[in-house]
Amino acid sequence: MKAIVTGACGFVGSNLVKVLVAHGIEVLCLDIKIDPSKLPNSQLVKTIELSIDHVDKLLEIIEEGEYQLFYHFAWLGSAGPLRMDEKVQVQNAIWTIDCLRIAKKIGCQKFICSGSIMEFEVHEAMYAQGSKPGLAYLYGVGKVLAHEMAKPIANNLGIELVWAYITNAYGVGEKSPRFINTTLRKINHKERLEFTAGTQNYDFVYIDDVANAFYLLGIKGKANKGYIIGSGDAKPLKEFILEMTNANAPDNPPHFGDIPFTGVNIPLSTFDISPIQEDCGFEPTVSFAEGTKQTMNWLKEIDHD
């Protein structure tokens, strides 16, 4: 078994590579810039520095039928200002289709793509009467577009498409200013912890569990199915915040309602992980309290350095 991973030096991609190698799977790692420190030191790891807009160059490098799995994570503007750039997000969707077609041409049997829970939020925000979604939704729009183009094209090409909706991945190795990191840094700096009322439903899943889920999807995921990758314990955001602060800052209680909530709330049923449990045998192993503790300790180390 051999796999190709785009965005292999990214947060999720690099952790998946480690899991694949641990299971004896040879991996061809693609990224615009290869960072060896992010990848396991193994003879099973091969690397190519390649921008995703030149993915067709794989046709010149790879012998047809050599790789069976194609994991796609490369996505420009998953954080920062480009997350709100419509041209970038539409282009990401087109690049996803380019990768899908190349995967078929080089003989891959399965294309496993990283989607987002925001795909569900987009539908809630766009089609509710009188809703006023902001530019932050454009990232999710790009994921929806990629998904809705990929499914019929994959069926036409005759390649198995497995779609994964990541809820909110976090953990050691991610430096972005997303919710968990920002909150833990505020705890480290003993800042006042201010939040919305926290009534919106949420889920967080530790990176080790995310990587294992993607490995299992490559081995056992079924074509034309979408799988939620989550903790199996979705609940209102307030409960996650209390769990995180109780574990990491019992002397700095959170304040709810100081910040207005302008997003949408999706039902708890959306976060159901039973399909990936039943089809692939996936079971989360890292609790939210433990995962935030590990992340906190790592952030202290890197911020101190």
**pLDDT at residue 262 in the model:** 83
Residue 28 bridge partners (DSSP): 4, 46
**Number of domains into which the chain is organized:** 2
**pLDDT at residue 89 in the model:** 98
Domain boundary among 147, 166, 185: 166
Q: Are 165 and 228 in contact (CB under 8 A)?
A: yes
Same domain as 76, residue 30: yes
Nearest to 263 by CA among 137, 177, 145: 137
Same domain as 138, residue 45: yes
Same domain as 290, residue 190: yes
Does residue 43 sit within a domain? Answer: yes
Task: Give me the domain span that covers residue 186.
Answer: 173-202+232-305
**pLDDT at residue 263 in the model:** 84
Does residue 213 sit within a domain? Answer: no
Q: Are 166 and 117 in contact (CB under 8 A)?
A: yes
Which residues touch 56 (CB under 8 Å, ≥6 apart)?
A: 98, 102
Same domain as 288, residue 150: no
pTM of the model: 0.96
Q: What is the mean pLDDT of each run of 10 residues along the chain (305 residues)?
A: 97 98 98 97 97 95 95 93 96 98 98 97 92 94 98 98 97 92 95 96 98 98 98 98 96 94 92 98 98 96 78
Does residue 217 sit within a domain? Answer: no
**pLDDT at residue 305 in the model:** 57
Backbone angles phi, psi at 236, to 5 degrees: -60, 145
Same domain as 130, residue 89: yes
Helix (H, G, I), strand (E, B) or coil at 48: strand
Does residue 55 sit within a domain? Answer: yes
Which residues touch 5 (CB under 8 Å, ≥6 apart)?
A: 13, 16, 17, 20, 27, 28, 29, 30, 71, 73
